[in-house]
Amino acid sequence: MHIKRLPLDTLITGIGRLFKYDDNPWFINLWGESEDSKAKYNTSFSHMHLLAKRRIINSTQNEHRKSGFHLKFRCPLPAEWLSFAQSKSQFHFFGFDALATFSNEAQTVKQVHIELPQLELARAFFFQNAYLTRSALELNVLAEDFDIQNRTDHYLINVLPPCEGSLALSHFNKPGFRRFLAYLLLNKNIRASYESIAQQCQAFSSINNTARTWNFSFIPPNLTDVNIEAHGYYDRLTNTFKIDEIISFSGLSTHIDKPVYFHHDKFSKASKNSGNTSTIPPKPNHAEPKLNDEEEAMPSNKPTIVDGPTTLLDFDDPFETGKVADKTGSKNAVIVDDAQEYIDELIGDVNADEPGIGGSVKAGDFEGAKDQSDDAHLYLDRFSAFMQMLYKLEEKYGIQYSLTLKTLPEVAGFTKHLKADNNPRCIAEVHFLHQGQHFILLEVDTSDNANRLSTQLLTIKDMNCWEENYEKLRKFVVQKTLNWPHSFIQKIATQQVRFNHPRIDDGQKVAIEDLEGWANRIYMGLTK
C-alpha cells in the first residue's frame, strides 16, 4: 500500500479530523513517523481503509504494522457503550467493559475496559472499499443508488444509474462484497448506523473561511455478543485496552432469511457452456500502484486493486447472493469476467476518489473485507443428483454415510473457486465405514459445465492427517483448474477409484437407470 504524499516507511501515529474545501473531496489529517521526520500529513478520505494507527505506509520491508498487544473480546449490550471525547483533540471514542482473551493468555478470560476509536470501528466495519467510504459522508446515497424489492422467495436489488459512476460493477463478482452490501442495505440496525455517519457530519461539521472540518462520530451498530479481534495498547495499571486496529468480526447476525439477487442492465446472461476465467495473469513485481489524490481518476468498471490488510467477517447466518440478468429476479446465471487485468508495465498512479470524465490516472480501489462465513450449506441443491445416488446406495445396500459440504478456497492467481455465476464452488465429502474399512467419496460441483470431473473414492492411509491433507487437496483442485491432483492423492491414499458421472440435466435430474448404475459402481468400489 503506497500513498504518494507520505515518505517511505511512514508509521501512522495518529489520525485527526476530516476537512474539505468547496466541492472537493474530503481529506483526513494524519500524524506519522519516518526515518527522517515526524510530521503532520493529509490524504484523501477515500483511502481510509488503509489508515489505522501503527500501520506502516509505503513500506520498503513488506511490513504492514508495528507489533502490539492482540486480544479478542465480546461486545456488550448497546446500553453499556459510552461515547466520549479526549479533551484536547475531541477525538471520539466508545468505552465499555468486555470479556476479553489476550493472544498470549489463550485460556484466560477477564474483564477489560475497552477504548475503541469511533473512526476505527467505522473503518473496519463499513469502509471496505472507496465507494462505501465516500458514500458514508453523503446523505441518502443508499436510497438513491439501490432499489430494493422484497419478493416472496428472495430480495431483488436493482443497481440504479447514479451508482454506476461511483461503484465499479466488477465488485459484484465477489460473493463477500455482495453479501455485505445486501446486509448493509437490508438490516435496519446496520443501515441506520451507516447512515448516521452522514447525518452527524451534516449536523456537527463546522465551516471556517473556505474549509469545512469535522471530528468523526457516528451511532454504532448493535454488535451485542459479536467477537472482535484487535491490535492495540494495554495499560495494566488501569486495565484498559486502547484499540489501534480491528482485524476481525465474528458471530455477526444478518437476520436475512432468503437469497438476495442484484440486477443491473449491464449484467449479461451466461451461455450454457461458458465458465469464469480459470487464471488471473500474474502481477508483475514492479506493478504496485501509488495512490495519488492530486490527479482525478478516469471512469472504469475494473479499477486497479490496491493491496492492503483485510478485515475478516464471519456471519452466523449467511445467506445466498447472486447476480441476475433481468428484472424478473430469476436465477439466470451471469458472467462478468472477474480476472484482474494486470499489464506488464509500471502501472504508476491511481486515484480512489470519484472518477471524472477529465481524469488522467487509472481508477483505484480496495477489497477491504474477507468473508469467512461457513456458507456451503446454502448450495446443497447443486448436489441433489449426487445425494439421490447416495440414497440409492443406502436403500439398496444398507450403506451408512455422513456428508459434509465445503467451499473451494480462494487461491491467488486462480478463479475456479467460483462458479460461472460468481458464487462459491463446493465440494462434497462423504465418509463410509464398510466392512471395517474407512472410505471417503469426493464430488466437486461442476454444474456450470466448467469441467468434467470424476467422482473419487479414496482409502486414506492416515486419517489423523486427513483434515490437513484435505485442505491441501482442495487448493490443488483450484490450482489445477478443476482437475484432481492425482500425484498428491497417491501420497495420501492406499486406493483411488474414479467414477464417471451419468448425464445430469440443468435441474439436477438423472434417469433412474443411470442413478442405479452410478450407485452400483460406487458399491463395487467399496467391496473390492
- Over residues 411-424, the mean pLDDT reads 86
Q: Which residue has the higher pLDDT, 54 or 289?
A: 54
Same domain, 357 and 454: no
Same domain, 59 and 40: yes
For all residues of the chain together, what is the average pLDDT? 86
Residue 365's pLDDT is what? 84
Q: Which residue has the higher pLDDT, 301 or 23?
A: 23
Task: Summarize pLDDT for 313-337 with one digit per residue, the tens.
Answer: 999 999 999 998 876 655 544 444 4
Taking the C-alpha atoms of residue 305 and residue 109, their distance in angstroms, rounded to an integer, is 39
Task: Summarize pLDDT for 237-248 with one digit per residue, the tens.
Answer: 999 999 999 999
pLDDT band (50, 70, 90) for residue 343: very low
Q: Give the three cell numbers for residue 146.
A: 439501490
The side-by-side arrangement of strands in the sheet containing 290-291 is: 2-3, 290-291, 349-351, 362-365, 304-305
Residue 336's pLDDT is what? 43
Same domain, 394 and 265: no
Same domain, 392 and 314: no
Same domain, 201 and 264: yes
Q: Shortest CA distance to 20 belongs to which of 209, 159, 198?
A: 209
Same domain, 192 and 169: yes
Same domain, 367 and 381: no
Domain end position, chosen among 371, 393, 412: 371
Cβ neighbourhood burial of 481 (10 Å; 0-12, 13-18, 19+): middle
Q: Give the three cell numbers for residue 147.
A: 432499489
Residue 277's pLDDT is what? 56
pLDDT at 4 over 60: yes
Same domain, 146 and 172: yes
Tally of domains within the chain: 2
Task: Summarize pLDDT for 502-521 with one digit per residue, the tens.
Answer: 776 666 677 788 888 888 99
Helix (H, G, I), strand (E, B) or coil at 240: strand
Same domain, 77 and 152: yes
- Over residues 25-39, the mean pLDDT reads 90
The phi, psi pair for 89, rounded to 5°, reads: -95, -20
Q: Give the three cell numbers for residue 425.
A: 464452488
Same domain, 306 and 382: no
Task: Summarize pLDDT for 374-391 with one digit per residue, the tens.
Answer: 999 898 888 988 999 999
Task: Summarize pLDDT for 262-321 with one digit per residue, the tens.
Answer: 999 888 754 444 445 565 555 555 557 888 887 887 877 778 888 778 899 999 999 999
pLDDT at 163 over 80: yes
Same domain, 188 and 332: yes
Cβ contacts of 276 within 8 Å, gap of 6 or more: 335, 337, 338, 415, 416, 418, 419, 420, 422, 450
Q: Shortest CA distance to 289 belongs to which of 274, 308, 270?
A: 308
The side-by-side arrangement of strands in the sheet containing 155-159 is: 146-150, 155-159, 260-263, 321-324
Q: Give the three cell numbers for residue 10.
A: 511512514
Domain end position, chosen among 371, 404, 436: 371
Helix (H, G, I), strand (E, B) or coil at 199: helix
Taking the C-alpha atoms of residue 456 and residue 430, their distance in angstroms, rounded to an integer, is 10
Percent pLDDT > 90 in the chain is 53
- Residue ranges making up the domain that contains 416: 377-526
Q: Shortest CA distance to 381 belongs to which of 415, 331, 329?
A: 331
pLDDT at 345 over 60: no
Q: What is the dihedral of CA 129, 133, 139, 140, to 10 degrees?
A: 20
pLDDT at 45 over 60: yes
Distance of CA 318 to the CA centre of its chain: 12
Taking the C-alpha atoms of residue 514 and residue 181, their distance in angstroms, rounded to an integer, is 42
pLDDT band (50, 70, 90) for residue 149: very high
Answer for the pair 456, 439: CB distance below 8 angstroms, yes or no: no
- Over residues 155-163, the mean pLDDT reads 93
Task: Summarize pLDDT for 432-466 with one digit per residue, the tens.
Answer: 988 888 999 999 998 777 677 899 999 999 999 99
Q: Which residue has the higher pLDDT, 30 or 303?
A: 30
Same domain, 203 and 280: yes
Residue 108's pLDDT is what? 77
Task: Summarize pLDDT for 467-502 with one digit per residue, the tens.
Answer: 999 999 999 999 998 999 999 999 999 999 998 877
Domain end position, chosen among 371, 396, 417: 371
SS3 letters for 388-454? HHHHHHHHHHCCCEEEEEEECCCCCCECCCECCCCCECEEEEEEEEECCEEEEEEEECCCCCCCCCC
